[in-house]
Amino acid sequence: MNIAIFASGVGSNYTAISNAIKDGKLDATINLVVCDKENAEVIKKVKKDNNEIFVFNPKKFNSKSEYEKIIVEKCIEKDISLIVLAGYMRILGSTLLDAFPNRIINIHPSLLPAFKGKDAIGQAIEYGVKVMGVSIHYVNSEMDGGKIIAQKSFEVNDRLTKEEIENKVHEIEHILYPTVIQKLIQGGLK
């Protein structure tokens, strides 16, 4: 099963997925990585793994559909069955969504539908919630919308710093994402 990972930043989830494959816990091949930030940290990690990466600057295109068409072509060329968004900070347009219906998933650091968008952890801390978590969901045209596939929660208290909470979120993400991808693949991506 060939997968594509889309990322814009650090790429710790990219690494977690890549390691799960290397450890034999995930029956997939990362055939393509797509990155919309020319200086993102994830690029070095992908190159070190010798995986193929397409880096682009959205500002150099006239429209979202223009660069999404190129991405779709690359995904088809690489025989991609599942697109995994891992910190990709862009809302997908109809060009990508229509080309891969029910084949695009995302991970978000909150218990959706609460705290969509940027700095979800900061929003949750500000609100004073006592239970936080991670969600994995199918992607649609709404930001952090789409049917939820899996969630994992944990309890927080006022003594925890934002950094400690972020670490906990990442710890959960790095186990949950490869596990969910493996289950989707085993289930035949229904």
DSSP E strand stretches across 57-180: 82-85, 104-108, 131-138, 148-155
If one asks whether residue 133 binds ligand GRF (CB under 6 A), the answer comes out as no
- Is residue 108 part of the annotated active site? The answer reads yes
If one asks whether residue 103 binds ligand GRF (CB under 6 A), the answer comes out as no
Single out the residue of 11, 133, 146, 178 in contact with ligand GRF (rule: CB under 6 A): 11
The one segment of 31-39, 69-77, 101-109, 181-189 that binds ligand GRF by CB under 6 A: 101-109
DSSP E strand stretches across the chain: 2-7, 29-35, 53-55, 82-85, 104-108, 131-138, 148-155
The one segment of 10-18, 48-56, 111-119, 124-132 that binds ligand GRF by CB under 6 A: 10-18
Single out the residue of 36, 71, 104, 173 in contact with ligand GRF (rule: CB under 6 A): 173
What's the min distance (Å) between Cβ of 156 and ligand GRF?
16
What's the min distance (Å) between Cβ of 80 and ligand GRF?
19
Q: How far apart are CA 25 and CA 105, in angstroms?
A: 19
79's tokens = 């025989």
- Secondary structure class of 165 (helix, strand, coil): helix
Minimum CB distance to ligand GRF smaller for 1 or for 86: 86
CA 31, 106, 138 angle in degrees (round to 5)? 105
**Count of residues interacting with ligand GRF (CB under 6 A):** 12
Q: Which residues pair with 55 in a beta bridge?
A: 35
Q: Among all chains, which residue has been given the structure tokens 């797509």? A: 34
Minimum CB distance to ligand GRF smaller for 12 or for 19: 12
Single out the residue of 10, 114, 175, 185 in contact with ligand GRF (rule: CB under 6 A): 10
β-strands 131-138, 104-108: how paired?
antiparallel
If one asks whether residue 146 binds ligand GRF (CB under 6 A), the answer comes out as no
Give long-range contacts, CB 8 A cutoff, 24+ apart: 19-23.
Answer: 19/178, 20/178, 20/182
If one asks whether residue 168 binds ligand GRF (CB under 6 A), the answer comes out as no
Binding site for ligand GRF (CB under 6 A): 7, 9-13, 86-87, 107-109, 173
Give the residue numbers marked as catalytic. 108
